Structure 1
């Protein structure tokens, strides 16, 4: 299987293991670094390797901070890796990537296919900064060909730190468990004031309305969150509206600093 590149050339299917690229016969190495870290089963000698894992984790933070330290204002965009290129959601991703470039923001994605590729493509083709933060997975998935600045990680928690640290906003397009994970983690960070002036946009009303209604009618109505927590979510179908939310929040943050 091959992946299309912008210039028409092709490259073989690959899997990223941190900075290491696996192709062809090496793709059968299915376990991931995260899996080996978190899986408590197996011989006890795994316990004695944990101090060395700490050094690898430290190196991932150092590499990520070093690669992204000079990134200007940017927005992290999440969405499904399963969105086909002919899907209207893919085109919306391209439009959002281009719009971010238009307001001077880099676009940060998980660097994979589908919606992530669309956003990177839109940003790159519009002359903006297109960033992809990849992750080692048990199935084949390399950085998409529209990533201009890419970093591959072994550990999800290191990658998540980079998604938040170098962004001024989150935009969530329709996605699966990974998108929901990032959405609720970002909401928790904003609610607990670990990050400030950080808007969270749910893009695609038909997809997100049911979730929004549940948060309002169940969580908020039962007192599990309050009105200001509910207000952290901005639901829209309009690219310009999403950009306005991002830009206004950045201006407010800049004025406070």
Structure 2
């Protein structure tokens, strides 16, 4: 890092460029420090419109969903503003909430729930804020919104689709009687999929929930057996909470041969290079690093399995 900073001087970087890099690093350092104080609790980022009024069904859905996630032991990350962001803090309350505020000319303060809390982080740049939203989240929930909400949703989907972010559940939710996401899915299927701008498996990267209860169940089920994943060289290591039966591993290997570059899926202990969660069993295979929608589907299949120690 120091070497890179010195090279900026040698490159005669402009004052504005240096200020941007300095400010971005300061924002990221502070944000990582805040989240490092609560590393064990799973977290969900909630996106949605700042304009949604408290009487709107979407507001009620966001509040009920975030409350249910907190009751399940999760913490909630929102943009700290009003509308859906405030509803996402009302549900769990201040203790289980993180706020990632952005400095805008027309939005200058955080909502009263998170205002003044040590878990409120103020950002100058959207790109650093979005990095924290994604990197610290074990799941993402999106409620109806405008350009900003769509920017966040499509960025999350793009990062997962291209393998630049780990696979997490992305759930679309709205209030009772709404059809916002129904129309959105029509656009995605009729314009993007029909136009061959995305692949059929990309539709697996999100889930449209018809109720708060379904949204909560979708997120929680993602971690029924699946724990987390990482790459060790070209090997994808999928950590499991419980060991699978050998016949299920063989079945998964055949079903998802399209994303296995060579060999097959093997169930084994931690690799020598690993340092985290060494006690957990693993599924390991040579991943093609392509078609991440199928990888998302593989995780669903893993969670459908009965573990070896069941019954």
TM-score by length of 1: 0.77
1:252 is displaced (CA, Å) by 4.5
Q: Specify every segment of 5 or more residues in structure 1 that has no aligned partner in the other structure, as ranges.
A: 1-45
**Matching residue of 1:101:** 70
The verdict on how the C-alpha distance between 1:252 and 1:178 changes in structure 2, with shifts beyond 3 A counting, is farther
Deviation at 1:53, TM superposition (A): 2.7
Determine whether 1:68 maps to 2:35: yes
Moved over 6 A (4+): none
Structure 1, residues 202-239: CA drift from partner, whole Å, max 9, x if none?
Answer: 11251111111111122112222112101212112211
Give the alignment of 1:143-154 within 5 angstroms.
Answer: 143-147=110-114, 148=117, 149-154=119-124
Summarize the Cα distance change of 1:52–1:141 in structure 2 as closer, same or farther, 3 Å threshold: closer
Q: For 1:217-228, what aligned pairs fall within 5 Å after superposition?
A: 217-228=190-201
Residue 231 of structure 1: aligned partner: 204
CA change 1:189–1:129 in 2 (3 A) is same
Distance in 1, matches of 2:210 and 2:112, equals: 27
SS of the equivalent of 1:84 reads coil
After TM superposition, list the pairs within 5 Å mapping 1:23-62 onto structure 2: 47-62=14-29
Q: CA deviation at 1:70?
A: 3.0
1:135 aligned to 2:105?
no
* 1:83 and 2:52 are equivalent in the alignment: yes
Higher helix share: 1
Equivalent of residue 61 in structure 2, options 84, 92, 112: 92
Post-superposition CA distance 1:80-134 (Å, at most 9, x none): 1111112222111110110110211111100000111011011117xx6111100
- Report the count of equivalent residues: 210
Larger Rg: 2
CA distance in 1, matches of 2:157, 2:14: 34
Distance in structure 1 (CA, Å) of the matches to 2:202 and 2:225:
18
Q: Displacement of 1:250 after TM fit?
A: 2.8
Instruction: Identify which of structures 1 and 2 has the higher relative contact order when contacts are C-alpha pairs closer than 8 Å and 6+ apart.
Output: 1
* 2:131 match: 161
- Mapping of residues 111-130 of structure 1, within 5 Å: 111-124=80-93, 129-130=96-97
- Quickly say closer, same or farther: Cα 1:180–1:101, change in 2 above 3 A: same
Q: Distance in 1 between matches of 2:19 and 2:59?
A: 41
Consecutive unaligned residues in structure 2, runs of 5 or more: 1-12, 229-237, 240-311
